[in-house]
Amino acid sequence: MARQKTILDIQKMKAEGERITMLTAYDYPFARLMDQCGIDMILVGDSLGTAVAGHDTTLPVTMDEMIYHAKAVVRAVESAFVVVDMPFMSYQTDVRDARYNAGRLIKEGGAQAVKIEGGRNMAETIAAITAMDIPVVGHIGLTPQSIH
């Protein structure tokens, strides 16, 4: 059984110029397949709202849905690093909500890191979450959660 990658492994890969592979999975079978193929990182994306649940956007996705899908992906993985999206309005309201919800994704969902959309406007939120020793993957540029 392979050892599961940690944030330190991912940081080392980046520092050494290694290519890092990342794909999105929403369930056990696909996550298992990706992990067996040697994918470095697996994202449990809020895109499950459109790709799995049939919504027109990602906006209806809830924390409970993200936790449910995260658990399925985490159970499938032996070596990949698992990142879970923080869904719309789980971190934008205030820093306290962001910290609480990031903690839920780690504790209940088994995530190793959370992903947040936004740039400088999210700096305080990201700092608060990382102060809890929760790694944050930033998503800058195109921010699908802001398209209504």
- The predicted model scores a pTM of 0.94
* Confidence at residue 1, expressed as pLDDT on a 0 to 100 scale: 64
> What distance in Å separates the CA atoms of residue 58 and residue 6, rounded to the nearest whole number?
28
Of the pLDDT bands very low, low, confident and very high (cuts 50, 70, 90), residue 143 is low
Domain count, the chain: 1
Residue 117 domain-assigned (yes or no): yes
How big, in percent rounded to 5, are the helix, strand and coil portions of the chain? 45, 15, 45
DSSP for 1-56, written as a single string: -PPPP-HHHHHHHHHTT----EEE--SHHHHHHHHHTT-SEEEE-TTHHHHTS--S
pLDDT value at residue 148: 58
In a domain, 33, yes or no: yes
Whether 56 maps to a domain, the answer reads yes
Domain assignment of residue 65, given as a range: 7-139
Predicted confidence (pLDDT) per residue in 59-112, tens digit:
999 999 999 999 999 999 999 999 999 999 999 999 999 999 999 999 999 999
In this structure, what DSSP letter does residue 122 have?
G
Whichever domain contains 135, its CATH number is 3.20.20.60
Confidence of residue 119 (pLDDT cuts 50, 70, 90): confident
Query: pLDDT at position 139, please?
Result: 81
Q: 22-46, pLDDT tens digit by residue? A: 999 999 999 999 999 999 999 999 9
- Establish if 135 belongs to a structural domain: yes
Q: What is the predicted pLDDT for the residue at 98?
A: 98
Q: Is 50 inside any structural domain?
A: yes
On whether residue 32 sits in a domain, the answer given is yes
